[in-house]
Amino acid sequence: MTLIDRINKINLFLPVSSQLIAWYMFVIFYMLMDLILTVIVTCFNHDASEFILFHIVNNLLPIVLIFDILISLNTGFIKNGKIILNRKAANKEYFATVYFFCDVIALITSILQIGFQYSFMPEITLFNYLIFIKLTTAFFLDSLFRKYVIKSFNGFIAYEVGKNFIILATLCHIIGSFYFYIDVLMYNNGWYTTDQLWIFNSYAWSPIYTSDFWIQYTYSYYVACVTLSGTAYGDILPLNPY
């Protein structure tokens, strides 16, 4: 019996099985954790070579992505309301989707990124962010939840609230971190003076430029959170009581 014959004897995963959905959720949360750490290293002047958690997550990422591609190659699909469990048809369907393209780009980027860390490009660049094209999997998982998992209106409401909370929290992390980073960039390049920059004139805790990481991050996150949620506008406070 050849290797191909043995592979063909392996049963395909059902496209709506609980095990498959759990795997997709794991991949998405792993990618989100990597995104959070990458943004921190980029914006708060963390030395990537000394950030152990960042290294662990990044070094294991290619393994996670390889497993994800193998699982996708061994997963059936739904067409016209029917579950198709033919391997050749399933592979052809996967290769024709944008998810396959995103998976390959993310895998190649994750492998090259490990090499760059120990060679000529140890710092974080825009290239590193190509990995997060893999987060397109979230759209696929969202469609699975909407079509096949959620069975009640209350479940739908709970799902939407939880999903939007995660999206808002992630956006606050990214926007708040880069808001801080842009001010630091402006100061270091001499484009603005200290009296013109938020990192030297924040109201509640000033200056956050010389504070430790947790104060910088918490304050930056707060500014983004209150702005995006519409409850306030950044670090600006009303001075006129009328």
pLDDT tens-digit series, residues 166-190:
998 999 999 999 989 998 889 888 8
Is the per-residue pLDDT at 118 higher than 90? no
Is the per-residue pLDDT at 122 higher than 50? no
pLDDT band at residue 201, thresholds of 50, 70 and 90?
Answer: confident
Mean pLDDT for the chain? 82
Tell me: the pLDDT tens digits for 106-117?
999 888 877 766
Contacts of 42 (CB under 8 A, 6+ apart): 124, 177, 181
Contacts of 13 (CB under 8 A, 6+ apart): 19, 20, 71, 74, 75, 76
Q: What's the pLDDT at 162?
A: 92
Percentage of the residues of the chain whose pLDDT score is greater than 70: 83
Is the per-residue pLDDT at 126 higher than 70? no
Top-confidence residue, 118 or 94: 94
Tell me: the pLDDT tens digits for 29-45?
999 999 998 888 888 87
Mean local confidence (pLDDT), 139-160: 86
Tell me: the pLDDT tens digits for 43-58?
887 665 567 888 888 8
User: What pTM, to 2 d.p., does this model score?
Assistant: 0.84
Top-confidence residue, 10 or 54: 54
